Structure 1
């Protein structure tokens, strides 16, 4: 596969993830956030499971054996995924698709910040101006006038923190286990079981609720979770990680476009400014280090 083809797969992934925000708002039927998150995650797990089992057997035979620490790490990853996904879903119910898309993307600058503060990993200087742009943009988009945060915006902002931890854990576990599909499937199973068990206890969904939300469950589970993740893994094998991060972060733009096309959402001038600042901050974090690495490569 060429780098151009890989980037095309990643762009398709961003389109799928961006449009899924619409489905998460209007396609859940009678399901509430926890049960819907659980159902879509189990569908995604079933989709990825055949490939994950093949990879698990290969790694067990040829590279390394899974340990109890590996499974505990996958359990923790799935628990954090469940928390982030549920908070995001609650938020999407109470804000616009456009806001949800851009505010979710706050995890991009949060990842290096958390790595620096908690893991003491070095970060590029561009993280700090990029994070500042995202912070100001979030302030504007969430209703800076009078600090009147929308309820949904607050939930989505909270979810972005868990998405950031999730990205760090997924990367760590994928490298440790040498089996990214196993990590993906395992976390989906954990997330799905947590969602369904807690959803049944707290939200008490009925069978008709699941029937009415079947389209959303299948779209989010098969396309966003199953196919989207698989395309991401395949694409990132053949392109630079910085290129991949930039392309995948464009899901914010596709979420905004989907909100305009399918839900007739509109942004005011201030909200456009806030969204632009967030996107600019994301680009700073991703592009500046990439250009610097390429410049050093040319110098050498």
Structure 2
């Protein structure tokens, strides 16, 4: 897969994730957050399981050993923690605040890659990340509501997603086992959410069936397909660049809400969309333009 193809795959992932916001909102009318997460990622895990087993049988020379154990454990914890914190935080803060604070992971990823993993980053990644953050801010309405306890949870969620994106890039550089890594993420997330659902909610088969369609979309398409494509594509696109491209999720979420829910995109929101698109174009074409200019 070429770099351009990988970037296009990540853009498709952002589109699928953006559309998942509507499905998620519809599902929560029938089931609790933890029940939704558990059901969603159980489906994702079942879908990727055959691919993981096939990968293991065909790639016997590639093993996930003790040297990668810490990174893999941190990946599972950060992914499961981010998903759960986002859901809990959404119940305690406004959608505007949650949308902006979650989007801060775009800024955290290059910091993690540079400071912790000592990776060399493109000079364009910093202005692109800032443009993306500004875009998410305007797309959220251009203002934040009063600070609430949920804001801290959502901010931690952004840190978790940033660690996940950065770790995927690091792990995939050493272990070419995308499907097994995806299975670990999905299984850990489903298990954590299931324990929380049984402890704090009262899931019933009847309510789960009422939310079957959005759960299937979120589990099969947004989870089983999109998250897996993310891991595969990040073998070819640096983590910091991936974060900027994936921020397009906010644009697609707004467009999906406008089409499916009749929500109006304000001029401020449209300006935010344009800034995010500009950031993605900088990451996509900027390096080629700089290389051409130097030559």
Q: TM range, normalised to the smaller chain?
A: 0.7 to 0.9
In structure 2, relative to structure 1, the CA distance for the partners of 1:31 and 1:111 (3 Å cut) is same
In structure 1, C-alpha distance between the alignment counterparts of 2:148 and 2:139, rounded to whole Å: 10
When residues 100 and 17 of structure 1 are mapped into structure 2, their CA distance, relative to the original with a 3 A threshold, is: farther
1:29 Cα deviation after fit: 4.0
* Aligned pair partner of 2:237 in 217, 229, 241: 241
Partner-residue secondary structure (3-state), 2:19 = helix
Separation in structure 1 between the aligned mates of residue 126 and residue 231 of structure 2, nearest angstrom: 29
Give TM-score scaled by structure 2 length: 0.79
Root-mean-square deviation over aligned CA pairs: 3.6
Checking the alignment, whether the CA contact within 8 Å between 1:142 and 1:148 is kept in structure 2 is no
Q: Which residue of 2 aligns with 1:186?
A: 184
> How far is 1:251 from its partner?
3.1
Evaluate the alpha carbon distance shift between residue 15 and residue 120 of structure 1 in structure 2; reply closer, same or farther with a 3 A threshold.
Answer: closer
- Structure 2 Cα separation of the partners of residues 37 and 91 of structure 1: 14
Higher mean C-alpha deviation, range 258-267 or range 204-213: 204-213
Equivalents in 2 of 1:168, 1:7: separation in Å?
16
What number of residue pairs does the alignment pair up? 291
Give, in angstroms, the shift of residue 221 of structure 1: 0.7
Give distance in 1, aligned partners of 2:274 and 2:150.
20
Quote the Cα distance in structure 2 between the aligned partners of 1:211 and 1:26. Answer: 13
Superposed displacement of residue 81, structure 1: 0.8
Aligned-pair distance for 1:194?
Answer: 0.8
Tell me how far 1:260 sits from its aligned partner.
0.7
- 1:211 deviates by 2.4
Residue 55 (structure 2) aligns with? 55
- State whether structure 2 residue 110 is matched by structure 1 residue 112: yes
The correspondence for 2:261, drawn from 260, 263, 271, is 263
Summarize the Cα distance change of 1:155–1:212 in structure 2 as closer, same or farther, 3 Å threshold: farther
Give the gaps of 5 or more residues in structure 2. none
1:66 Cα offset (Å): 2.8
**Conserved in 1, the CA contact under 8 Å of 2:182 and 2:228?**
no
TM superposition shift of 1:197? 0.9
Change beyond 3 A, Cα 1:114–1:28: same
Q: 1:12 to 1:123 in 2, by over 3 A?
A: closer
**What's the counterpart of residue 119 of structure 2?**
121
> In the aligned structure 2, how far is the partner of 1:172 from the partner of 1:73?
9
- TM-aligned CA distance change 1:118 to 1:4, over 3 Å: closer
TM-score by length of 1: 0.78
Q: CA deviation at 1:129?
A: 2.5
Spell out the pairing of 1:112-151 with structure 2 (5 A cutoff): 112-140=110-138, 148=146
1:56/1:259 CA distance change after superposition, 3 Å: same
